[in-house]
Structure 1
């Protein structure tokens, strides 16, 4: 009877294939008949990993969010898996739920929403499910989740995407502390930037940003960074840090703005002209050169990302006059690198001009 029972077990497994798979407790198991008619279990575990859980990129560029999957032990032949990517905006966007980015099964794939036509899987090697986004748009930052589904099993990892950029203070041409939240938001956007988040302002403070005027942030608070405590900036008794007025009335309260730019999609340059120009002439000169007068955010991006250094005051699109300094030197402003500002002089005065050309 024992030999007959062994024979029946052998024939059953032979009819199902030498290796019969099943799923239990988060693992795949292969039931293998040994030479003595018995069975032993060999479990195969799906692992999903990312070599870079935090990715920094620049708006307008492309980025790859790493995601790889493998099996332990390694399989001798590939399995059919489904790859899904999800995106969840930062809390500043309203704490929205996860949204579909794309799904892929074999060579078939589908992208969704604003990601349609901008995303693909890299697939540079077996198990590579990395997401490529090209180009990056202003609202793409947030939490991305890569999910690998194999039969009844699924595993996932999370990659956070943030923009590498520069924070700069901005105030109205009418004067200080004259913008409500909505006006500050619009002012930043007009300068090819966005209201900064607290995390971005804090990182800028850690890099040395010191500004004694409170400005709107994207979360509706008014804050300012202080590296050197002084009486005019909250007093000398307070430690350095980011000072906050907390949430403010977005319609009634008035502050400056802290803007954040992460765009290097074009070239900013100082126009070499035979004479200095008033504001109207400056705009026309840039147009005649095939470009347009540069915005404040574009000048800051050129200073930070490509090391633009020019010791010549020039008009910008908002009517301000500024110049970027990477290497401080005599007659070029203060001892620290930065974008120097002369504020908003009368537009009939003569200055140079900074122009901007889009790269195709």
Structure 2
């Protein structure tokens, strides 16, 4: 049988474009056959959101499935998710998600299945930060990098990094204006 180390998780909070690790640890209870008698566990990560419908179900988006040291990542998450501890310890199903986007916020479910036994745990994720374009009121492209930093500070903001702009673009942000980024480039 599967025994998952469940915790009442407070939301894991991380900034836009960063990497986060969502915990999922479990053990297998012996059925008398000994640890070597277990079939390899199947691990499935899913993103769950929305209100439960009349059927009691919520919308789901598969993230990845792993079994017997083979990890299959769904297309929407390719290149962004891994199970960093899995290849060393198959009982560590913690999920790393990089290049965080605002749309990554939500509830993630880790499900572990061995034979007919399964356990699941959920971890809420909150991606913080927002990218917006600021234009001087009097003239387009009038701010120097120093001026842009000052204006951001006055508005309780900071200049976005190139990675934050990329994460926001990947989420659908589309603005035909150039602006300063933290590396002093204009994009």
TM-score band w.r.t. shorter chain: 0.5 to 0.7
2:162 equivalent in structure 1: none
Larger Rg: 1
Aligned residues: 150
3-state SS of the aligned residue for 1:300?
coil
Q: Could you tell me which residue of structure 1 aligns to residue 2 of structure 2?
A: 46
- Point out where structure 1 has 5 or more consecutive residues left out of the alignment: 1-44, 166-187, 193-277, 304-353
Deviation of the 1:148 alpha carbon: 0.6
- 1:67 and 2:24 equivalent? yes
Contact 1:67 1:129 in 2 (8 A): yes
RMSD: 3.7
By how many angstroms is 1:302 displaced? 3.4
From 136, 142, 153, give the equivalent of 1:282.
Answer: 142
CA 108–140 in structure 1, closer or farther in 2 if over 3 Å, else same: same
Q: Specify which of 14, 18, 25 is matched with residue 57 of structure 1.
A: 14
Paired residues of 1:90 and 1:142 also in contact (CA < 8 A): no
| Structure 2 segments unaligned to the other structure (5+ residues) | 52-56, 160-178
Deviations 1:227-271 (A, max 9, x none): xxxxxxxxxxxxxxxxxxxxxxxxxxxxxxxxxxxxxxxxxxxxx
Residue 50 and residue 66 in structure 1: after superposition, are their counterparts in 2 closer, same or farther (change >3 A)? farther
User: Relative CO higher for 1 or 2, CA cutoff 8 Å, sep ≥ 6?
Assistant: 2
When residues 115 and 301 of structure 1 are mapped into structure 2, their CA distance, relative to the original with a 3 A threshold, is: farther
Which of 96, 100, 117 is equivalent to 1:132?
Answer: 96
Give the corresponding residue for 1:102: 64
Alignment of 1:163-312 (within 5 A): 163-165=127-129, 190-191=132-133, 279=139, 282-283=142-143, 285-286=144-145, 293=148, 300-302=156-158
1: CA distance, partners of 2:17 / 2:68 = 29
Cα deviation code 1:167-206 (max 9, x no counterpart): xxxxxxxxxxxxxxxxxxxxx86449xxxxxxxxxxxxxx
* Contact 1:90–1:141 under 8 Å retained in 2: no
TM-score normalised by L of structure 1: 0.35
Contact 1:51 1:66 (C-alpha < 8 Å) held by counterparts? no
Offset at 1:88?
Answer: 1.6
Superimposed CA distance per residue, residues 324-350 of structure 1 (whole angstroms, 9 cap, x where no aligned partner): xxxxxxxxxxxxxxxxxxxxxxxxxxx
Q: Which has the higher strand share?
A: 1
